[in-house]
Amino acid sequence: GACCSYRLRNALHPLWQSPLSIPGGSRQSPINIQWRDSIYDPFLKPLKICYDPTTCLHIWNNGYSFLVEFDDSTDKSIIVGGPLENQYRLKQFHFHWGAINEWGSEHTVDSKFYPAELHLVHWNAVVYPTFEEAVMEGNGLAVIGVFLKLGAHHEGLQTLVDALPAVKHKDTVIEFDVFDPSCLIPSCPDYWTYAGSLTTPPLTESVTWIIKKKPIEVDENQLEAFRMLLFTSDGEEEKRMVDNFRPLQPLMNRTVRSSFQ
Ligand SMILES: NS(=O)(=O)c1c(F)c(F)c(-n2cc(CC3CCCCC3)nn2)c(F)c1F
Ligand SMILES: [Zn+2]
């Protein structure tokens, strides 16, 4: 059935040589969000986002994507509310994108791909002592997903784009010391939420996903700047960093809730 082909595809997919059987494997990400099958939950609270721009540390090309990492030693940059029982600390944000504008996002909405998707990764520092431990626990992480669509130039993103040439190669890092990622999150409060996993190794089923309904607009040059990055280290044969998204995973026995009617 569909499930087996997914497993086969995961095992065969070049980028995500994930082990065939993920422990449990009942809540993997990403998924297709079928708008009409999502259930409005009136008890979902608005998501409260409080970021301190001075907690921004650096940009790092880790060979999968580029990560903007934050100082998560205090509760200065947190999210709370929404579907979350606790507040969660911002650890890093990164993107997934395609070689062309027809695909690139990890989640899809009614089977439609966006050219890119932003993930803001937070961890439950109320319950767990470290990020590494939170990654292994069912309520350990909360990731906000924001779709990027082709359109107007995005001023806030440009400061990030301007720094990308300095992290062209895998394992390069550049200091990036003031940035407020709130500028990358649409003001519309509407979101979907479901229980899922990391979409990169270790693929652990520890993520409460919060997917914003509204995309942000970025222009062609900004998407092209992502595609100039490399999977490879300096001196290796160059491989452009594109199509760094995981294949869709089976919904299995899950419901996607919406914060809006
Ligand atoms: N696409 S996603 O699901 O939003 C997503 C995430 F949620 C992540 F947490 C990570 N992640 C991976 C590690 C390495 C750690 C190395 C030490 C052990 C724990 C993992 N740091 N952050 C990640 F790379 C990613 F892509
Ligand atoms: Zn991601």
* pLDDT tens digit sequence for 111-167: 999 999 999 999 999 999 999 999 999 999 999 999 999 999 999 999 999 999 999
Q: What is the maximum alpha-carbon separation in the chain?
A: 54
Please identify, by atom number, the ligand 1 atom nearest to the C-alpha of residue 91: 22
Residue 114 Cα, ligand 2 centroid: separation in angstroms?
A: 14
ipTM reported for the complex surpasses 0.95: yes
Contact 101, 227 (CB under 8 A): no
122-161 burial, b if ≥16 CB within 10 A, otherwise e?
A: bbbbeebeebeebbeeebbbbbbbbbbbeeeebeebeebb
User: Taking the model in full, what pTM does it have?
Assistant: 0.94
| Mean pLDDT of the 168-179 span | 97
- Whether 13 shows a pLDDT value over 90: the answer reads no
Name the nearest CA neighbour of 168 among 244, 105, 226. Answer: 226
Please give the single-letter amino acid code of residue 120.
Answer: L
**What does the block give as tokens for 162?**
């301007």
Question: Residues in the chain, how many?
Answer: 261
Q: Is 246 in the pocket of ligand 1 (CB under 6 A)?
A: no
DSSP the chain: -HHHHHHHHHHH-SS----SS-SS-SS-S--EE-GGG-EE-TTPPPEEEE--GGGEEEEEE-SSSEEEEE--SSSSSEEEETT-SS-EEEEEEEEEE-SSTT---SSEETTBPPSEEEEEEEE-TTT-SSHHHHTTSTTSEEEEEEEEEE-S--HHHHHHHTTGGGG-STT-EEE-----GGGGS-S---EEEEEE--SSTT--S-EEEEEESSPEEE-HHHHHHHHT-BSSPTTSPP-B-----PPP----S---EES--
Kindly report, residue by residue over 30-48, the tens digit of the pLDDT: 999 999 999 999 999 999 9
Please identify, by atom number, the ligand 1 atom nearest to the C-alpha of residue 94: 26
Q: Is 143 in the pocket of ligand 1 (CB under 6 A)?
A: yes
Residue 185 Cα, ligand 2 centroid: separation in angstroms?
A: 15
Q: Tell me the percentage of the chain whose pLDDT exceeds 70.
A: 91
Residue 224 Cα, ligand 1 centroid: separation in angstroms?
A: 24
